[in-house]
Structure 1
Amino acid sequence: MIRSGRFKHLSIGGVLAALALLSGCTLGGAAAGGYIGHETTHSTVGTVGGAVAGGIVGYELGK
């Protein structure tokens, strides 16, 4: 099933987040979090907040 619009972006973001979390990578987590934060809020604050949160999760899983 092909999704369009906002849901397509969230699906891609979900895949990126899953890959980052499975690899336990700080940089990957930050990138995925930033992408998801941007797509959900369309704001700089959302992007930065998502990147910070994703980086923390990636770092903790990488220990």
Structure 2
Amino acid sequence: MFRRWLQDERGATALEYALVAMVFAVTAITAGKLLGTVTKARWEGVSEAVSQVMGF
């Protein structure tokens, strides 16, 4: 019975799709965090430039 369970590959496709989804999610989260960091730095630079021009 255990041997038959080991040879059964019906759940392998679902596992593969889950792993691909996990990699996609981790990549998307990492890219989102990086984009947020870059965007924040840009807006801080804009804020600083406007403050200098306005004399604040």
TM-score (norm 2): 0.37
Q: Which has the higher contact order (CA 8 A, sep 6+)?
A: 1
TM-score (norm 1): 0.33
Larger Rg: 2
